[in-house]
Structure 1
Amino acid sequence: MQTTFAGHCVLCENDTTFELKDSKTYRSMQCIRCGSVSRNRALWFALNRAFPKWRQLVIHESSPGWDIVSRRLAVECTHYVASQYEDDLPLGHLVTGTKLPCKKYQVENLEKQTFKENMFDLVITQDVFEHVFDPLAAIADIARTLKPGGSTLMSVPVVRRFNSSRRRARLVDGKIEHLLEPEYHGNPVSGDGALVTVDWGYDISSQLSNASGMYFVMQTFENMDLGIRDECNQILIGYKAPLPDIN
């Protein structure tokens, strides 16, 4: 299997080489210049195509990390707000002086945020919704914080594809109950990792729409010239607006 590909990175905006760090999956395809992976570039491509004036929007990014997407959003977005969940700090607490690119963030639980209604034009999450214990409550609260006509943009690994979504772990009386073997992903604020709570299928769009009242579109991007290919990572855009009238 070929492991290096010449192309152009939409994130660092350079001609570059994309290299598979794991020769078995395109999910590991990394830009040798900026370190971005395919899901970063897919989300960035979607952001610029769907929201070309994003730099002037009021944007909330939940759980930003060290990646170049979060770095560019923090620097280039005029009205950027970051949040992280930390169970040992009170909700609404402002953490300053962090080494994360966002420099500061507000402690928030996506399921019950302290943000007021109608605050944001756009809410961005990168690989967050497979880690939320109650993702349906989270998307409903995201809708609450969006202005009328606002949107949410998210990358989510849809690992189940045409199979129904399934729960891996849940909270029962405040304790974690594992329904499947525990699986963890990286966590920007904890070395313990982030527990995967849901394996999503293509029904994710309907699940999120039913819970939030927003309508969702799910897109899969593939362009090897831009280093965008991933076996299970989809980009979802939710709109806090009525469906277009096509009558």
Structure 2
Amino acid sequence: MTDLRAADTAALVALLAQAPPGAHIMLDAPRYDLAQDILLDHAITLWGEDGLLPILHFIDPRHGLTMRGDGSQLQSLALTGSGHRATSLLTVAADDCVLDGVRIVGVQGSGLRADGCQRFTITDLIVKDAGQQAATFTRCDQLRLTVKARNIAHRAAAPAIHLIDCDGFSIDADIDDVNGSAITVERSEAGESACTGGIRLRASKVRRALSLLGRRDAPIEAIAVDVDAGTWTECAMLLSNVRSVRVDLTLRSTDILPSLIFNGGFGVRDSHIDIHQPADAAALPSSLVRGLDQNSGNIVNVQELATAGSEPAAWAVAPALQARLDAIGRPGFAVYEMADRCNLCGWEGLFRRTHASERETLACHDCRATLRYREQAKTLVDRLGGGRFDTLAALAASDLLPKLDIFEAGFSGPLRRWLGRARRYEQSFYEPGVPSGTRRGALTCQDLMATSFADDSFDVVITSDMFEHIRKPMLAFAEVHRILRPGGLHIWTVPIGMPPPPVTRARVDTSGPEDIMLLPPVYHGSGADSLSLVYTDFGRDINQILSAMGLPTTAIPYRGGAGHVVGVTLISTKAL
């Protein structure tokens, strides 16, 4: 074994290039700022002292740490990144790897992705503040995982821990505050694994604590789970296409029923389920479990909790490490909560700031719409409903939407759940080189600079943070004018700085076939989870520009928790 020491970033990069198999590289510095990939392509151990926990900070979202060498290890260190919406900070594609005492904190995408790893052992892993999954494991057999995770999937709904076609796993997890399931075990269409294993889970503030998702022709079998569910918004557990599972489910509340859902073409068969509920609940199995009567061969026992019990013990990233992470030069923000009502679904409660951009946070606890979408929905409801409705859900339940034709560009976002009730509701995708009008399932390809729609096709066009990424946005505005009916509305958003700049400016010269950068390139995360170039910065003169095109435009500002304006919703109306 060779022991090496990396005193700074340059030394670490140099040592990795020459370290022999079996080398141990000690990280002496408190932080390493990295603008390149770190690759462990053979059995190398990176480690820090327990009291120090050195930070590997990836300052470029295109790069991260990859373990490709069998037997490689990470011990007592922290990972963080700037950006990383479309990538995982840590990728593992090797056998017999070990993570021990690793912290992954502050990443806009996912924390860890492992594919095809055998005998992967992870102990004392903490993942905190991840925009998507904390960890995803695909075709990883004999996985051993001990993990704590918090504030996960705040950018897009996702499970904290996602196991796909894994077999022989053992999971021990404490998970809270997830926009999705705490753990999802899934058998994919192509998967041949039986997905057997054991799970011990304590979960709170989640959509679901545990989801087991088998296939009708290949159910998940022989899993034993012990779940302690604190609070959830959908159900404590979802069992879909499973057989011979053993469930021990402790419910801290029965405020939301059913607590357990059976579904799927195969359903739930030959399974044993013990449910422990508070003594004052007295809910019957028929109310606790949806689908119980439609599934056969199952034993469901409902019992009182032996004691009142308590919520799982609180945990946190070590204060000294958190202070060093907070000191990294990234957009900082103060976490706060504000009482509000969702303009989409009507949920009332505390909306929490979890992101530097206030318009991209303060998400609804139910439908997960962020402030930007909630304000866009408010504008839509006000303009279409004329003051008769206070939520998009109420508007959708009326007789108004079935009289309207709506085009919402893209295929993701929380508005679609209700706008789909319109008489005609079109969604789209965009792929260079694919002609507008090309259909894939329920979607059509549409280049917003030249759609396939006929003149005067729609009453409403909706775009959300798209026009800054269109190569020639004025062509797209002209196209919106063409496909809107007279008096029709384009309700749209773009990320305008506050206060807005005085004039709209191009960041890229698109006069020729090739893009020529006029300003340093800026990229945003896209709905397809990739990075999209920003072509235009919009300013206060946009009303003047669009009015000259027959689309007079109004900007409606909205405010964050401190009372200051954090964004605008724009409404362009096609002149009669």
TM-score, normalization by structure 2: 0.37
Instruction: Quote the Cα distance in structure 2 between the aligned partners of 1:230 and 1:126.
Output: 18
Does residue 107 (structure 1) correspond to residue 440 (structure 2)? The answer is no
Does residue 569 of structure 2 align to residue 235 of structure 1? yes
In 2, the alpha carbon distance for the partners of 1:185 and 1:56 equals 35
- 1:30 matched to 2:30: no
Native 8 Å contact 2:552 2:572 kept in 1: yes
Select which of 403, 422, 438 maps to 1:56. Answer: 403
Measure how far apart 1:199 and its partner are.
1.0
Question: Which has more strand, going by share of residues?
Answer: 2
Residues 240/87 of structure 1: CA separation in 2 closer, same or farther (3 Å cut): same
Is contact 1:127-1:154 (8 Å) kept?
A: yes
* Contact 2:462-2:490 within 8 A present in 1 as well: yes
Identity of aligned residues (%): 28
How many Å separate the matches in 1 of 2:461 and 2:363? 25
Q: Whole-Å Cα distance in 2 between the matches of residues 25 and 116 of structure 1?
A: 37
> Following superposition of structure 1 onto structure 2, how do residues 68-217 of structure 1 map, counting pairs within 5 Å?
68-74=414-420, 76-96=421-441, 104-159=442-497, 161-189=500-528, 191-210=529-548, 212-217=549-554
Bigger shift: residues 44-53 or 104-113: 104-113
Equivalent pair of 1:38/1:228 in contact (CA under 8 Å): no
Match of 1:221 in 2: 558
Match of 1:5 among 338, 341, 351: 338
CA contact (8 A) 2:358 2:560 kept: no
Alpha-carbon offset, residue 158 of structure 1:
1.7
- Residue 21 of structure 1 corresponds to 354
- Aligned residue type for 1:44: A
C-alpha spacing 1:55/1:236, structure 2 compared with 1 (3 Å): farther
How many angstroms apart in 1 are the aligned matches of 2:565 and 2:370? 9
CA–CA separation in structure 2 for the residues paired with 1:57 and 1:142: 16
Bigger CA radius of gyration:
2
Structure 2 distance, partners of 1:4, 1:204, is 33
Report what 1:245 is aligned to.
none
- Displacement of 1:193 in angstroms is 2.0
Q: Note the C-alpha offset of 1:230.
A: 5.4
Unaligned 5+ residue runs, structure 1?
Answer: 97-103, 243-247
CA distance in 2, matches of 1:130, 1:43: 17
Q: Secondary structure at the match of 1:163?
A: coil
The answer (yes or no) to whether the contact 1:41–1:228 under 8 Å persists in 2 is: no
TM (normalized to structure 1)? 0.83
Report how far residue 223 of structure 1 moved: 7.5
Tell me if the contact between 2:458 and 2:483 (Cα under 8 Å) persists in the aligned partners.
Answer: yes
In structure 2, relative to structure 1, the CA distance for the partners of 1:40 and 1:49 (3 Å cut) is: same
> Using a 3 Å threshold, how does the CA distance of structure 1 residues 185 and 72 change in structure 2: closer, same or farther?
farther
Runs of 4+ that moved beyond 3 A: 227-230
* Alignment-mate amino acid for residue 182 of structure 1: P
Question: 1:174 Cα deviation (Å)?
Answer: 2.3
1:69-114, Cα deviation, whole Å (9 max, x unpaired): 133323x323101122211422210111xxxxxxx22111111112
What SS does structure 2 have at the residue aligned with 1:117? Answer: coil
What letter matches 2:553 in structure 1? F
For 2:439 and 2:491, the matched residues in 1 are separated by 24
Q: Which residue in 1 is equivalent to 2:221?
A: none
CA distance 1:176–1:48, change in 2 (3 Å): same
Q: How many residues align?
A: 227
CA distance in 1, matches of 2:509, 2:458: 29
CA distance in 1, matches of 2:542, 2:410: 20
Aligned-residue offset at 1:149: 2.0
Question: 1:71, 1:174 → 2: CA distance?
Answer: 38
Q: 1:229 to 1:172 in 2, by over 3 A?
A: same
Query: Structure 1 CA distance, aligned partners of 2:410 and 2:564?
Result: 23
Using the alignment, how far apart are the partners of 2:563 and 2:523 within structure 1? 24
